[in-house]
Chains A and B, each alone.
Chain A
Amino acid sequence: MQKLLFTLFFFLTSQLVLSQGFQVNFQGQKQQGMGGAGTALPIDGASLFFNPGSTSFLKENSVNLAMTPTFARTLFVDANTNQSARTNSPMGTPFSAYAVYRKSAESKLFFGLAVYTPFGSTVQWEDEWMGRFALTRLELKSLFIQPTVSVKLTEKVGLGVGFVYCVGNVNLQKDLPVMDASGNYGHAELAGKANGFGVNAGVFVQATEKIGFGLTYRSQVNMSVTNGQATFVVPSSLEANFPNGSFSSSLPLPQVITLGFSYKPTDKLSLALDVNYVGWKAYDTLAFDYETNTSSLFDTKSVRSYENIFAFRGGANYDFTDKIAARLGIAYGISPVQNGYVTPETPDANRINYTAGLSYKVGKHFAFDASIFFTHLKRTDTNIETNLSGTFTTNVVAPGLAVIYRF
């Protein structure tokens, strides 16, 4: 099982900054079609992520597999030189799998297993770009495995809790401003595996037939790298100054508190609204502690000073027939990155996400969901640590597809 998980894990490449910071919110195609809202609208197995409390209100067992190929392109225009550089990051493949099961239609108890990628990004900047001494490549992957229990306490109230085990890895690379006789700059690569634990808990209230409320808490997960490997390529005369060896570091994946609201004006139309409060303040410093320090290689502490933020998500679902449904959504997210702290690894900005989706049921057991996501980010800043100054513009497009087996 462990091996399978890791195999699965290494096939994932995540994606650039899809939501604030390096958080990704591609967890369910239906919810994606509705701007990423769904805390108070139990519609499918993705409720394991959105609100484990609402899972017990599902009407059937299902297995849900989804993938959202993500295309992100960032342009940086240097404020001093007017010169530009681009990312050529690989396609991101956020992935999610949800299985929910109850013994019988009368059972108040749902069991679920969710496997998803809530945080991640791979940013690859073009060779020799002007920020090469700040970053050339960052690959951050995380895979959450969440066994969950959801109970329908009363006809109106559901409660659920999931235990989260997280595995991840990080690979950060940059050039070093030491040149050898052939004109090559040094290069540093910090790679490591990390893991962490957390919970995802929620309560769902179906206040009336038309109105629902949800409240969830996803705890902070501290991803700690204890035995990372630092590899340096430097001119031979400096090899003693940059010894390869181990390092430790940690990255907090922040807690998220979400309040959700749903409303069904008619049988065919559902509306959902979520407000996320994300505890990015936990990402205060990115520190690297090297096992061997030298006069050139010392432990680093880069201040990130992220701030807690709100995100607002809203969407609508319309059932045209029993088989076909369509969705539209919009979201507004505030960036946790303060002015002066924008980095090439997370060229973040306040953003509006536009989404749409479509569902189609085939026969008794199968269903397909599709969604599309678009966002555009623009941020001008001068980083106080590196003094890299300019404007980052990012476009992200992510079409997603899910296959659902219902039983």
Chain B
Amino acid sequence: MNFKNTKRLILGLGILSFTFACKPKETSIEVSAGDVDPTRFVSIGGITTSGFMDDALYAEGQENSLGAILSEQFKLVGAGNFNQPLMPSSSVGWSQNGMSRLLLGYKTDCLSITSLSPVRIASQGDLTGFGSYVYSSSNKFNNFGIPFIKTTEFSTPGIGNPANGLGLYNSFFTRMASDPLNGTIKADILAKNPTFFTLFTGMDEVLMFAKNGASVGSLTPINGAAGIGFDGSITDLLTDLTGNGSRGAVSNIPDVTDFPFFTTIPYDGLNLDADNAFTLNEIYNPIGIYFQVGKNAFVIEDPTAGAFGARQMVEGELILLSVPLDSMKCNKMGSVFPFRNEFILTNPELLQIRNTISGFNAVLASAATTYNLAFVDSYSFFKKIKTGIVYNGISLSAKFVSGGAYSLDAVTLNPRGNALLANEFITSINQKFKATIPKVDATKYRGVIFP
């Protein structure tokens, strides 16, 4: 062997090793729908299912709805097209009060301090986009996520009829109903002839009640006939949904009072200097309320609190993010002027709300058993978010804006939050129906967008 041969040999080794260097091979992983027939998947629910977020229904939110994200994964195991009642893609959106969606911007408060804050993207909502009738009999919808729907309303005829008057119809259904004047949501769902469904209902009605400080309307009774009580309405809906042999998943509902809308302002966030403490003591000492320099509990209206109907908050009670922050910071709201009930959840109100949630959840859990459905424990999922989770290196919590899971309205999840919730659904569905539907890569979904 001479030198030249050695060189050749070395060169040969080099080339050989290069070929070897060889990307590791990917072995294909089997995905299967198991006992699920995903052909015609229908998602049913409220704000989360619809993709309502940043306090508005708008296209990007809808594209990242719980229903839409699930449908993408079901497509991997044979689901068909997922048709949504989309808003126009460039629309500024439509809130329950006709406002445009929120985005993170800058706001200058009464103390002339400018800071990051959710601001409306436009001065008003997109009435033209929202008012367009989008139903098509040849392309029926798969997403029956209807913002602010009550569970009792799925079988209510004419629930999309504006003639019923404010509070007695749902304008988000009007635009997508086959028969807005007389039809029911349930009939439209059944007309799609679903082969698989998800049901995530009960949250919106509790949330609406809580968001108004438990001062407007009432909570749906846990028990009662269809259209009146929660359990009767659920039975009515699930009996018909499963009637044709369709399988599905049902979720329980979160403790809505864990949402950042209720947890951002601390009950004892009244910070006083000596002067202010003195002034307040002058006012309140006669009725037995005392202030100190430093942290104090805010003062609220409470008709049950003695002759003056005012008291300090106690630990556990919640101040809502709807409270006028400037009035609080500069005009002594929450101190000289007690917070009105609509901005507060008192302990008795919280008890009522939480009892309803646990009542609903008992109904939902037993319905899952009765109708042989996958059961999704969203209640625990939202509790985990509250404690804080880490997903692929991303820390998420229920902190307003910086927590990264909620949208800017502080009650709905952002796309990343929805993706994580969708994964909870997939886990339960896989378990129940022996399926191996891949979960969503939630890093591909956005969190909060910063300016």
Contact = CB atoms under 8 A, between A and B. Distances in A.
Contact of B393 (A131, A181, A372, A395): A131
Interface in B52-107: 104, 106
B18 A397 contact: yes
Interface string A67-95: 00101111101101111101000000000
Contact of B6 (A174, A360, A395): A360
A81 B439 contact: yes
Contact of A395 (B3, B21, B438): B21
B393 A78 contact: no
Given A81-B438, A236-B451, A372-B13, A130 B443 contact: yes
Contacts of A183: 446, 449
Nearest to B105: A237
B449 A181 contact: yes
A237 B450 contact: yes
Interface string A98-139: 000000000000000000000000000000101111100000
B168 interface: no
A133 B29 contact: no
Contacts of B116: 237
B392 A130 contact: yes
A385 interface: yes
A80 B420 CA distance: 11
Given A183-B446, A399-B17, A360 B29 contact: no
A174 B20 contact: no
A292 interface: no
Given A75-B24, A84-B26, A177 B394 contact: yes
Contacts, number: 131
B393 A80 contact: no
Nearest to A80: B439
A180 interface: yes
Interface stretch (A18-26, A52-60, A254-262, A386-394): A386-394
B283 to A, nearest CB: 35
Interface string B1-13: 1010010011001
A340 interface: no
Nearest to B23: A73
A73 B24 contact: yes
B109 interface: no
B243 interface: no
B22 interface: yes
B440 interface: yes
Interface centre among B29, B106, B441 (most CB of A within 10 A): B441
Given A83-B438, A179-B449, A132 B443 contact: yes
A153 interface: no
A37 B10 CA distance: 22
Contacts of B51: none
B24 A398 contact: no
Contact of A80 (B23, B24, B423): B423
Contact of B20 (A128, A133, A180, A374): A374
Nearest to A356: B13
Interface of A: 69, 71-75, 77-78, 80-84, 86, 128, 130-134, 174, 177-181, 183, 234-238, 296, 324, 358, 360, 362, 368, 370, 372, 374, 376, 385-388, 393-399, 401
16 contacts: A73-B24, A75-B26, A82-B29, A84-B26, A86-B23, A177-B404, A178-B450, A237-B450, A358-B6, A374-B17, A385-B390, A387-B392, A388-B392, A395-B20, A396-B21, A397-B21
Given A73-B24, A86-B23, 8 more contacts: A77-B29, A80-B441, A177-B404, A368-B6, A370-B13, A372-B16, A397-B21, A399-B10
